[in-house]
Structure 1
Amino acid sequence: MSSDTPDEFRPDAGIAAEVKTARIEQEMEQSYIDYSMSVIAGRALPDVRDGLKPVHRRILYAMHESGITAHSAHRKSSSVVGETMGDYHPHGDSAIYDALARMAQDFSMRYPLVDGQGNFGSVDGDPPAAPRYTESRMAPMAEELLADIEKDTVDFQSNYDDRKQEPVVLPASFPNLLVNGSSGIAVGMSTNIPPHNLGEVIDATTHLIENPECTIEDLMEFVEGPDFPTGANIVGRNAVHKAYKTGRGRIRVRAEFEVDEDEDNVVITELPYQENKARLIERIADDVNEGKIEGIRDLRDESDRDGIRVVVELKRGANADVVKNQLLEHHLESTFGVINLALVDGQPRVLTLKETLVEYLNHRRDVVRRRSEYELAEAEDRAHILEGRLKALDNIDDVVETIRNSESRDDAKAALRGEQTVEVDGEALPSFGFSEDQANHIVAMQLGSLTSMEAAEIEAEYGDVQNRIDRLNEILNDADELDAVIRSELTEIREEYADERRTSFIEDTGSVTHEDLIAEEDVVVVVSEDDYIKRMSLDTFRAQHRGGKGIIGTDLKEGDTVSSVFVANTHDYLLYFTNHGQVYKLKTYQVPEMSRTARGKSAVNLLELDDGEEITSVVNTADIDEETEKYLTMVTRNGYVKRTSVEKFQNILTTGIIATKLDDGDELADVEVTDGTRDLILASRDGMSIRFDEDDVRAMGRSARGVRGMKLTGDDELVGVAAVDEDVHNWVLTVTENGYGKRTDIGDYRRQSRNGKGLIDIKTNDRNGPVCAMETVGYGDHLFVMSQSGQMLRTPVDDVSTVGRNTMGVIVMKMDAGDHVASVDVHQVGSDDVDESEE
């Protein structure tokens, strides 16, 4: 065969035997999956345990290894970047420096992890100065993430070239994932976790430790919502609740601004998170130049180190509300898309609020357990050495003789261990049986350690070490004690670093229209038994003399009746209490405004009421003075009364919260605002009343039932509670279902002890019917009475005769056959405004 002829190809020989056949689509798919997981786990997503991506973790660990702590001098950022890149993160220096700079920006991180000196960028989008010009060191909060890392608290892995070891995760003394948040784009997925207030997150974590079965709603009583470093306002709470329950949500964030009426300016003082201030001003200016926004004369950026201040100067005669609305619609509101995606056991997962905290707690329990095991081993080693020293001191003469008569240091150690015998004058010295570590330590002891004072110190130290061993064993053997340690450490961090919220909440009215665009006026709100609700201007109802039929106040569908009526301001917050003991919160202007003859809107569209749940009482928060402690005093149909501080009602969810516990068959009847110094008067359906000191009812939590306020006979039940303020109230006003009522001097109701039968308030015969309501009233008050059929009467209380207790009263509102009084409210007005023609 010619030499030019190639050898026969044999697929089973040589290098060809190593070639494998594969379908290209399968190989591409697997390679892409491998690449994706590498990006997901090694670059883009944070770990749920410490809330850090690998680059951030490596930067902090490199600073820790280099001694660049919060108490050291600042170091050139280029040095930190070089250490990180050379030892742990083999990527570009610009990527490492960008991550370092972000951890130093107080407008990006709620609690910065790097303490920087120099220019690290600004909210105007200015980039940080070059790393050779800036200096950095760890912030105190970063040290809390690394605390106890040298005590075998976390696993380590080899770095990229197997020269060093780096931590897989940091010990993380606080839930950093929620506290500082995170953002990143991986392959096919992304994460965007907002920052939160440290104090709120720690409170939720400790609550979870104490109540492992708690719900997400329970945790949301502590974590109000994201707390952005730039402040601003979150619009509405529904999106926040959805994000906490599902791990995803779209939160509307609105800038903080105010109108300077003296200067005709709109002043912006806080921006939405990650909003570029310079670009925002440019966009507003472009819209003004293009005529999209009218009424603006000038834009000025007066921001300084103390904070943001952007002044929007208005033209003469411009409507500030209109300009404000235009700015809101186009510029001053943005959306933060929450995607609570993090690595759990190396796999990406979308987590709820509770799942995030549970994963953190599991990590923290493992850290504290491993730390305790490490410290226990150290303590036991130390106790072992101290035991040897004490034993040596007890036998000091023989120990010294043994060492003196040994030929070498090794022989002395062997003799102390009992491995060989030392003789003096033909007699063998005692064998002590010391361990190798004890023998080594005793041979190295100095003569000065043989003093009695030194011995006392050794005994004291031994006692302390034994106590430490007992405590560590207790922690390791008792899960509750381990959790107590975690709770205690979290509390210490809270006390050291927690601060006030920066981001506030404003109500979501369904549009960008600001609340200030809604006129402030007094309105009448009507609620029916079938939970239809509406508001009408107070001027709709002119005052009449008592005894009239009033005018139509609402149109009711067949079978429905009026349940309550009350007067409030459109900007007041109202607390809606239901017969089931729940309370809801709503602004008055959120109740739809309709005419007298309209039916209203179903309350289930505004309040998430359960089947059979009806509104029985409404409290206006305008009556709650923040300067003095206030209580919500509640009474139930079966005669129970309780007081709860208004502070317990600060965080009312859209789904409502529990206001009081109820026995089976009992219902919440009425609620009154008190201040701890008032007398209470309880009224029953059969015309009985009792007055007693408010202090007779101790303050309780929301979930308490209360105590007996009044003994009821037969099928009698409580219908209301009134608080006595003798500086304002002169009389007790009682109204019955058949439209009769009376005023009686407050002094006629003598004070008694709680849980008595009380005194007769009004006669409840066939003419009067049972009692419908009791109120304390004063000069100038107007009475609003509404019947079940929807008739409304407004009359001055002065028109109602003043008589004693146990009387019949006079006609207040004339009732049609089969109609009854449904609800009564009292309102303070400036004048009687009586319309004689409507008598």
Structure 2
Amino acid sequence: MSEGEKLVSIEDEMKSSYIDYSMSVIISRALPDVRDGLKPVHRRVLYGMYKLGIFSNSSYKKSARIVGEVLGKYHPHGDISVYDTMVRMAQEWTLRYPLIDGQGNFGSLDADPPAAMRYTEVRMKKISEEMLLDLKKNTVDIQLNFDDSLEEPVVLPTRIPNLLINGSSGIAVGMATNIPPHNIKETINAICAYIDNGNNLSIEQIMKYIKAPDFPTGGIIYGYEGVKNAFHTGRGRIILRAKAHLEEIQGRQCIIVDEIPYQVNKSDLITRTVELMKEGKMEGIYQIRDESDRNGLRIVYILKQNTHPKILLNKLFKYTSLQTYFNVNNIALVNGKPVKLNIKDLIQHFIDHRHDVIIRRSKYQLTKCKNRVHVLVGFLKILDHLDILIQMIKKSKNHGDACKTLIKEFKVSEIQSKSILDIRLQNLTSLELEKLKKEHDELIKKIDFFKKVLDQYHIRTKIIKEELLEIKKKYQDSRRTQIDYSGNKFNIEDLIENEQVVLTISHAGYIKRTSLSEYKRQGRGGIGNRGATAREYDFFKHLLIARNHQYLLLFTEKGKCFWLRVYEIPEGSKISKGRAIQNIIHLQQDDKVNAYILTGDLTNKEYVRNYYVMMVTQKGIIKKTPLENYSRPRKYGINAIVIRKGDSLLEAIKTKGDSHVFIAAKSGKIIRFSEKNVRSTGRASSGVIGIHLSDKNDIVIGMICVNVNVKEKGHLLVVSEKGFGKRSYLKDYRFTNRGGKGIKTINVTKKTGNLIAIKYVTDQDDLMIIKKSGIIIRISVSDIRVMGRTTQGVRLINLKKNDAIADVEKIYKPTGDPIL
């Protein structure tokens, strides 16, 4: 090591060098200044055009000319970086309020590259001139350029809140910024309200003016939580959706997309959708057409027949960039340091900058006015001595001698004397002299005004507000991005059509759901369709009509309750056997599902408080418990009822607390009493006697609860084991006390078999009847005769030898789902 050199730790040198590099990137390249919202390259592009005189009212100039000017004088980082910046500043789909007026090919929404800089032409937009106004009035600090040969502004004295209306994005070292654009009208209204309120407006109050970001490509902000987080903290995740509507084209339904989310590549969007079609994830799309032109964007999704448009659109939102996220991260340079800012901070810093600009501008104008007044005072001193003045000048040897003479004789300053000597003879007319006096008086008033501006804060805020309102009048426009306040994150229900389905549960515990459209209606006495392929020892025990979005409570014979969504049940065809319930819920091996309840949204507290669960066991024990007790599911189920020895849970029904209860036994007996006779108890109780079974071999086969407001417009349907059934009037069944033996509802014989099911039906309902062999028949209730209470009924379905009915379920036909 030679003399004068010293050892340096490589670790320390790396740290120091990396910090210097990172700060250079942060300050000189990647992050915008909070005052004018510009990065250095954007500022230099505008300043370069300003120096060249390329304003909005001038002719277009070649882009290469501006790039060369900026590159050679202010920004030595490569021509591509400068030209790409100019291109983005001219693209209407990139900036909410473009700063450059471009002529030629500046790219497209498909991410097509712009033409080379030698082909395109540019000039300033009118709104850009508002950012450079007053630049010559010493309003901002000036710094030397990279080689100290020229000067450039540190920041622009912008009149527009550019960072708020155009946003910014950039990746620095160890940090990034992603500030969304906002509507200029909303932004200026918020700033003016903030000023009017003494700079003490809360963020919630600001949000009454600035509703949300406003993106140049429009679209929809789906949900408001991300917007609130961004406004309050400076960080938030905003969900953006495309704007779409439905049209019918040549007999086919079509989804038309008019606006896509910000920063989405249209070409990539369509390509990705085609890939999903090939993968089988978008089976409902027949064809995609891009019909976009210079008048606007238009993507056409032509749908296949019988495709549900809303479900398909939700799938497009789920799997393609028709729905994206804008991750807000409001980081900008404040006094040369990166700071995370909320919406209030951004407004405050802009106002502070405007105060600083107005103070510096007023000082500049005050000095200029004082200097002019000083000159005019000199003029006014010699107005009455013009003849003497002329003689003195004529006698002077030269200009310097004349100045000295004037200073000595009229007691004027050197500046005043030079101005007097420079005055033209034509300005010595009485009219011109009167103008000088008037100018002097006006300047005195201006000086007084500028002093007040410098001394009084409220006058400056008034000027800021007036200038902002002028900007608003010039450039305001309507909001492009709509806001869907009710939107939230994706739910699986958005991708599943809420259609009616048939749920079947077999004796061996297999469950499935099948679209109701697979079952066609037949006449009474038909032989039915093949419903499923069951094992020899298995048969279908339960059949239920539901909708995909409903909740299903499953009750086991041991009194446990499990919680499922209908769409969570595996889908199967008519002939499939389904899936074992044990693989879906945590059911004990010696337990099985005996009852079920369809409900609405169990997370809705108001809904669950208005309903009860009525349960009955095979031994005739009945129990009523509030539905709210079953609204908080657990992985291994919850206890629904305490089952006594030798008994099992048979039926569970959702009620409103004022129903008429009908309990039927297989012997053909039925009892009717008011639900109010059954006291509501908790889950850990066993219940009370509902019907007294005199025969020890007799068991309860079903229960119905009829709403008291129905006024008995429907009928009581009973079906026997051998396929006989009938309807009878509810009035044929008298009220009795709970716990009675009941009265006869069907004449049970060897021909009819035991009673198997009871239902409350109307003429508008259909019936699904399933045999133990798996055959299902769908018939209309109106085809079944209304008969006396003690008759045996008519044959509903033909049964082969050794076959029997396993279950009966009705299909609701009125509009609006009655099972809620």
- With structure 2 as the length reference, what TM-score do the two structures score? 0.60
Aligned alpha-carbon RMSD (Å): 2.7
Q: 1:499 aligns with which of 477, 482, 491?
A: 477
Q: Does 1:466 align with 2:480?
A: no
State whether residues 325 and 514 of structure 1, in contact with CA within 8 Å, keep that contact through their aligned partners in structure 2.
no
- Residue 395 of structure 1: SS of its match in structure 2? helix
Q: 1:18 to 1:244 in 2, by over 3 A?
A: farther
| Structure 1 partner of 2:181 | 195
Q: 2:149 aligns with which of 158, 163, 180?
A: 163
Task: Give the match for residue 240 of structure 1.
Answer: 227
**8 A Cα contact 1:592 1:600, kept in partner:** no
2:360 to 353, 370, 373: 370
1:510–1:391 distance in 2 versus 1, CA, 3 Å: same
Partner in structure 2 of residue 41 of structure 1? 27
Answer yes or no: is the 8 Å Cα contact 1:288–1:294 preserved in 2. Answer: yes
Asked if residue 484 in structure 1 is aligned to residue 498 in structure 2, the reply is no
Asked whether the equivalents of residues 293 and 323 of structure 1 are also in contact (C-alpha less than 8 Å), the reply is yes
Q: Could you tell me which of 50, 72, 88 is aligned with 1:102?
A: 88
Does residue 136 (structure 1) correspond to residue 99 (structure 2)? The answer is no
Distance 1:287 1:341 in 2: 37
Counterpart in the other structure of 1:300: 289
Report the counterpart of residue 28 of structure 1 in structure 2: 14
**Secondary structure of residue in 1 paired with 2:143:** strand
Answering whether residue 241 of structure 2 is matched by residue 227 of structure 1, we say no
Q: Which runs of 5+ in 2 are unaligned?
A: 500-600, 613-625, 630-706, 712-813, 815-820
The equivalent of 1:727 in structure 2 is: none
> Post-superposition shift, 1:73?
0.8
- Which AA in structure 2 matches 1:357? I
Return the offset for 1:510: 3.8
> Partner of 1:17: helix, strand, or coil?
coil
Residues 117, 416 of structure 1: alpha-carbon distance in 2 compared, 3 angstrom cutoff: same
Change (3 A) 1:256 1:512: farther
Q: 1:480 to 1:519 in 2, by over 3 A?
A: farther
Following superposition, the deviation at residue 18 of structure 1 comes to 2.9
Deviation at 1:369, TM superposition (A): 0.4
Instruction: State the shift of 1:592 in Å.
Output: 7.2
The one-letter code matched in structure 1 to 2:135 is I
Paired residue for 1:124? 110
Instruction: Tell me, yes or no, if the aligned pair for 1:328 and 1:512 is still in contact at 8 Å.
Output: no
CA shift at 1:519, angstroms?
9.2
Deviation string, structure 1 residues 386-420 (Cα, Å, up to 9, x no partner): 221122213222222222222222211111111xx
Secondary structure in 2 matching 1:336: strand
Counterpart of 2:243 (choices 256, 267, 270) is: 256
Provide closer, same or farther for how the CA distance between residues 112 and 508 of structure 1 changes in structure 2, counting only shifts above 3 A.
Answer: same
Tell me what 1:319 maps to: 308
Whether the aligned pair in 2 keeps the contact of 1:376 and 1:472 (CA below 8 Å) is: yes
Determine the C-alpha separation between the residues in 2 that align with 1:78 and 1:513: 53
Q: For residues 793-812 of structure 1, what are the structure 2 equivalents within 5 Å?
A: none
**Aligned-partner SS, 2:382:** helix
Aligned in 2, Cα 1:322/1:376: closer, same or farther, shift over 3 Å? same
**Contact in 2 for aligned 1:234/1:253 (Cα 8 Å):** yes
1:285 is matched with which residue? 274
Shift of 1:594: 3.7
- Corresponding residue SS for 2:240: strand
Matched, 1:114 2:73: no
CA distance in structure 2 between the partners assigned to 1:481 and 1:589 by the alignment = 59
Q: 2:374 aligns with which of 366, 384, 408?
A: 384
SS in 1 for 2:3: helix
Matched with 1:54 is 40
Instruction: In structure 1, list runs of 5 or more residues that go unmatched.
Output: 1-10, 419-430, 521-587, 603-790, 796-832, 834-839
Quote the Cα distance in structure 1 between the aligned partners of 2:363 and 2:444. Answer: 15
User: After superposition, what is the alpha-carbon deviation per residue over 1:106-149, rounded to whole angstroms, capped at 9, x for unaligned?
Assistant: 00000000000000111001011100000001111111111111
- Partners in 2 of 1:496 and 1:792 — Cα distance? 66
Instruction: In structure 1, give the amino acid aligned to 2:202.
Output: T
Structure 1 or 2, whichever has the larger Rg, is 2
Checking the alignment, whether the CA contact within 8 Å between 2:314 and 2:494 is kept in structure 1 is no
Pair 1:597 & 2:611 matched: yes
Give secondary structure in 2 for the equivalent of 1:264: strand
Of 258, 261, 276, 2:265 maps to 276
1:489-525 CA-partner distances (Å, limit 9, x unpaired)? 11110111111100011122442679999999xxxxx
Describe the SS at the equivalent of 1:410.
Answer: helix
Counterpart-to-counterpart distance in 2, 1:323 and 1:589 = 27
Distance 2:81 2:190 in 1: 34
Paired with 1:30 and 1:793, the residues of 2 have a C-alpha distance of 83
> Which residue among 298, 314, 323 is the counterpart of 1:309?
298
The partner residue of 1:67 within 42, 53, 62 is 53
Equivalent position SS for 1:440: helix
Residues 48-104 of structure 1 deviation map (CA, whole Å, 9 limit, x = unaligned): 111011111111101101111111111100110000000000011011100010000
The question of whether the paired residues in 1 share the 8 Å contact of 2:314 and 2:495 is answered with no
1:355 correspondence with 2:345:
yes
Q: How does 1:68-87 map to 2 (within 5 A)?
A: 68-87=54-73
8 Å CA contact retained: 1:233, 1:505: yes
- Work out the CA distance in 1 between the residues paired with 2:628 and 2:442: 71
Partner of residue 449, structure 1: 427
Aligned to 2:114, the other structure's residue is in SS state: coil
SS at match of 1:266: strand
Which of 487, 498, 501 is the equivalent residue of 1:508? Answer: 487
* Cα deviation digits, residues 255-277 of structure 1 (max 9, x gap): 00011146410000000000000
Residues 782-793 of structure 1 mapped to structure 2, 5 A cutoff:
none
2:74 corresponds, among 82, 85, 88, to 88
Distance in 1 of aligned mates of 2:288 and 2:216: 25
Whole-Å separation in 2 of the counterparts to 1:490 and 1:164:
32
Q: Which runs of 4+ in 1 moved over 4 A?
A: 512-520, 588-593, 598-602, 791-795
389, 392, 408: which one aligns with 1:402: 392
- Specify the code of the residue in structure 2 equivalent to 1:406: S
Residues in 2 aligned to 1:113 and 1:133: alpha-carbon distance in whole angstroms: 19
Once the two structures are superposed, what CA deviation does each residue of 1:135-164 show, in whole Å capped at 9, x if it has no partner? 001111111111111110000111011110
Cα separation, 1, equivalents of 2:238 and 2:708: 42
Separation in 2, partners of 1:98, 1:55:
10
TM-score for the superposition, normalised by structure 1: 0.59
Cα–Cα, structure 1 residues 394 and 284, in superposed 2: closer, same or farther, change >3 Å? same
Structure-2 change in CA distance of 1:377 and 1:601 (3 Å)? farther
2:203 counterpart letter in structure 1: I
State the alpha-carbon separation in 2 of the partners of residues 518 and 322 from structure 1. Answer: 6
Distance 1:508 1:51 in 2: 31
User: Number of aligned pairs?
Assistant: 516
The 8 Å contact of residues 109 and 265 in structure 2, kept in 1 or not, is answered as yes
Structure 2 CA distance for aligned equivalents of residues 590 and 307 of structure 1? 43
SS of residue in 2 equivalent to 1:279? helix
Sort the Cα spacing of 1:465 and 1:28 in 2 relative to 1 into closer, same or farther, 3 A. Answer: same
Instruction: Verify the 8 A CA contact 1:594 1:600 in the aligned structure 2.
Output: no
Confirm or deny: 8 A CA contact 1:117 1:136 kept in the other structure: yes
